[in-house]
Amino acid sequence: MPAPDIILQAQGLTKEFLGFIAVKNVNLAVKRGSIHALIGPNGAGKTTVFNLLTKFLTPSSGTIRFDGVDVTNEQPAVVARRGLVRSFQISATFPHLTVLENIRVALQRRAGLATQFWRSDKILRQLDERARELISDFNLDAYTDTPAVDLSYGRKRALEIATTLALEPTMLLLDEPMAGMGHEDIDRVVGLIRKAAVGRTILMVEHNLSVVSNLCDTITVLQRGEIIAEGDYATVSQDPRVREAYMGLEEA
Amino acid sequence: MTATTVSAGPAGVRTNSETWGRFSAAGLVVLLLVAPLGIYPVFLMKLMCFALFAAAFNLLIGYVGLLSFGHAAFFGTGAYVSAHAAKVWHLDPLLCVVLGAVAGGFLGVLVGYLAIKRKGIYFSMITLALSQMVFFIALQAPFTGGEDGIQGVPRGMLFGVLDLNKPMAMYGFVLVLFLFGMFALWRIVNSPFGQILKAIREHEPRAISLGYDVQRYKLIAFTISAALAGMAGGAKSLVFQLASLTDITWQMSGEVVLITLLGGIGTMLGPVVGALIVVTLENYLAAMDFPVTVLIGAIFVACVLLFRRGVVGEIEHALRKRA
């Protein structure tokens, strides 16, 4: 049984694709209220672990417990409804819906306004107040009625996180939130993540060790599908195997 | 096939397009009210049946992003069931059409349940395969009349009082059915449910990650689409007093794809305009030696090469750009 302060626990997680073992016997425990990073060089299996945890992939073996419940065999939408919500590596917005509509889609389900096909969508205006709060929180006020497709990359990220927070999730899983960003944008997203982390648990997959250095409480390093180190930044960055993994990458 | 033609523009633009939408809907109603004064009513009724059929199909391709290649199964089933109810059971014409819609919807649940488990081309192939099964059932089953179809279907007396053998009465009946169907679709697209459908079309994994059971939403949309296609088929069988194998062939499934593509995927009026073009061509070229299919094929190619958004889609796009 997981300790009560462990919100997400994976045990013996293994994923095999036609004989190729992408993830091998991964044991991961995320503490409630922490910001936890899963890092590793390209092809280390980070995204596979991520997809296993959010149920977008089914593990070959192993178990996943979220908030005391075994979710190993649940559908992704069910896990999401339990409060474990993921983001995507490529900004996942609904491109031809406006910023306001994007956030409302996230609000609709909990408000019980998702399956009524006989009512006017004007009824959704009752969600606007909450949606606008979230839009303000992420400084998107000027873009409320802009289709998401027309936003800059950084603002799409902000919209995505705002949409995710609209679900009021217990835990967020962020898939490479800094992917493809410049330095200014990275600082901005770090700020967004700190904002989102208040009262929540976050597990983020990241490629770059330095990005997570001052953001995350715990860092787990994955290489070739296996965990090679875990701890805070100081511990992990001194680990010879981690240094080798990253140096090896830099030489390549 | 991706369908991203429809899009809600910024608020200001949307208000414009909303006004424009109301204006064109009112225009369409007025047009349909005066049209039978100058145009052969049976032609107009055929047009409305096909427009409704295409609009029902468009709910899936335009607003959920699902390309069904077996919609003739629902149209044809609706036609057979309505024809049978009218000819054998002597039911009220409205009830016949309702039964056609129910039959289409029921078949839609079955086909949809199997097909939505797959995506993209696999989805289309499953709908095609299942609709071919329905075709062979229609060919073999005793009540469909095989190659002959069900002929001489009586139009009957609506509510026991209105004789639908009078062309104008029949025209009014079909017009009401058509407007009801179009209104239902408009309501669905602009409803809380429609908003989730659009979200699924735009980014399905994201909709799942927000906790939506997308299969359920797709199945509901599929069923509604099939039911309205069945209603269109039922109305068609009363108009022509005939339900035949033509209604249920894969060519008919292809025709509805063409009509929708030509008019504009994901637009409310696109299927109507598409039906107008295709039905007109078929009707006026039917008497000539020139093969209609060649011309329609050429138009299809031109549409794909030159105006991919379809007639209405291109107009809307131009209006939005100007705004």
Q: What is the C-alpha radius of gyration for chain A, rounded to an integer number of angstroms? A: 19
Of B192, B196, B206, the CB nearest to A119: B192
A138 shares a domain with A123:
yes
B chain contacts of residue A146, beta-carbon cutoff 8 Å: 10
Per cent of chain B over pLDDT 70 is 95
Tens of pLDDT along chain A (252 residues) come to 445 588 999 998 899 888 888 888 889 999 998 999 998 887 788 888 888 988 889 889 999 999 889 999 889 899 999 999 988 877 789 999 999 999 999 999 988 888 888 888 888 999 999 999 999 888 889 999 999 999 988 888 889 888 988 988 999 998 888 776 777 777 777 888 888 888 899 999 887 777 788 788 899 988 888 888 888 888 888 888 888 877 655 443
Whole-angstrom distance, CA of residue B272 vs CA of residue B47: 8
Helix, strand or coil, per DSSP, at residue A99: helix
Answer with the residue of higher pLDDT: A97 or B157. Answer: A97
In this prediction, residue B230 carries a pLDDT of 96
In this prediction, residue B17 carries a pLDDT of 63
Helix, strand or coil, per DSSP, at residue A75: coil
In this prediction, residue B317 carries a pLDDT of 86
Under an 8 A CB cutoff, do A121 and B195 touch?
A: yes
Report yes or no on A189 lying in a domain. Answer: yes
Q: Euclidean distance between the first and final Cα of chain B, in Å? A: 28
Under an 8 A CB cutoff, do B208 and A145 touch?
A: no
A78 shares a domain with A48:
yes
A52 shares a domain with A144:
no
Under an 8 A CB cutoff, do B195 and A120 touch?
A: no
A63 shares a domain with A104:
no
The three-point CA angle A124-A127-A128 to 5° equals 100
B chain contacts of residue A101, beta-carbon cutoff 8 Å: 8, 195
Count other Cβ atoms within 10 Å, centred on residue A232: 12
B195-254 residue pLDDT tens: 999 999 999 999 998 999 999 999 999 999 999 999 999 999 999 988 888 899 998 999
A181 shares a domain with A81:
yes
Answer with the residue of higher pLDDT: A189 or B185. Answer: B185
Of A77, A114, A163, the CB nearest to B208: A77
- Asked whether A118 and B187 are in contact (CB, 8 A), the reply is yes
In this prediction, residue B306 carries a pLDDT of 85
A129 shares a domain with A51:
no
Report yes or no on A155 lying in a domain. Answer: no
DSSP of A109-121: HHHT-SS-SSS-G
Of B6, B191, B203, the CB nearest to A121: B191
Answer with the residue of higher pLDDT: B58 or A165. Answer: B58
B chain contacts of residue A105, beta-carbon cutoff 8 Å: 195-196, 199, 207, 210
Report yes or no on A203 lying in a domain. Answer: yes
CA distance A4 to chain B (A): 25
Placement of tokens 């896990």 in the chain? A79
> Which residues between 186 and 205 in chain B have a beta carbon less than 8 angstroms from any beta carbon of chain A?
187-188, 190-196, 198-199, 202-203, 205
A30 shares a domain with A11:
yes
Q: Is B7 on the interface with A (CB under 8 A)?
A: yes
In this prediction, residue B5 carries a pLDDT of 39
Domain boundary among A124, A150, A176: A150
Least Cα distance to B267 among B95, B113, B54 occurs for B54
The three-point CA angle B11-B12-B14 to 5° equals 65
> Which residues between 9 and 28 in chain B have a beta carbon less than 8 angstroms from any beta carbon of chain A?
9-12
Helix, strand or coil, per DSSP, at residue B243: strand
In this prediction, residue A222 carries a pLDDT of 87
In this prediction, residue B94 carries a pLDDT of 93
A49 shares a domain with A33:
yes
Structure tokens that stand for B108 in this block: 């839609």
Domain CATH for A190: 3.40.50.300
- Asked whether A189 and A206 are in contact (CB, 8 A), the reply is no
Under an 8 A CB cutoff, do B193 and A76 touch?
A: no
Report yes or no on A161 lying in a domain. Answer: no
A·B CB contacts under 8 A: 115
Among A96, A108, A122, pick the best mutation site for testing chain B contact (most B Cβ within 10 A): A96
In this prediction, residue B14 carries a pLDDT of 52
β-pair type (B150-151, A69-70): unpaired
Of A116, A145, A163, the CB nearest to B10: A145
- Asked whether A101 and B195 are in contact (CB, 8 A), the reply is yes
A123 shares a domain with A59:
no
Give whichever of B2-16, B53-67, B136-150 has the largest mean pLDDT.
B53-67
Which own/partner contact pairs does A60-63 have at CB distance under 8 Å and 24+ positions apart? A60/A14, A60/A15, A60/A16, A61/A12, A61/A13, A61/A14, A62/A10, A62/A11, A62/A12, A62/A13, A62/A14, A62/A25, A62/A26, A63/A10, A63/A11, A63/A12, A63/A13
Using CA coordinates, name the residue in chain B closest to A163. B210
A chain contacts of residue B8, beta-carbon cutoff 8 Å: 96-98, 101, 147
B chain contacts of residue A114, beta-carbon cutoff 8 Å: 192-193, 196, 212
Domain that holds residue A85: 6-93+168-251
Under an 8 A CB cutoff, do A95 and B203 touch?
A: yes
A102 shares a domain with A140:
yes
How many domains is chain A built from?
2
Helices (H), chain B: 11-38, 41-63, 72-87, 93-115, 120-140, 167-189, 192-202, 204-209, 214-240, 250-263, 270-285, 292-306, 310-322
Structure tokens that stand for B19 in this block: 């006004």
pLDDT mean over B269-281: 91
Among B185, B210, B218, pick the best mutation site for testing chain A contact (most A Cβ within 10 A): B210
A198 shares a domain with A106:
no
CA distance A173 to chain B (A): 11
- Asked whether B104 and B78 are in contact (CB, 8 A), the reply is yes
How much is the ipTM here? 0.82
Q: How far is CA B224 from CA B181, B214, B215, in A?
A: 10, 16, 14
Structure tokens that stand for A193 in this block: 């993540």
B101-151 residue pLDDT tens: 999 999 999 999 999 999 889 999 999 999 999 999 989 888 888 788 888
DSSP B319: H
B chain contacts of residue A112, beta-carbon cutoff 8 Å: none
A120 shares a domain with A134:
yes
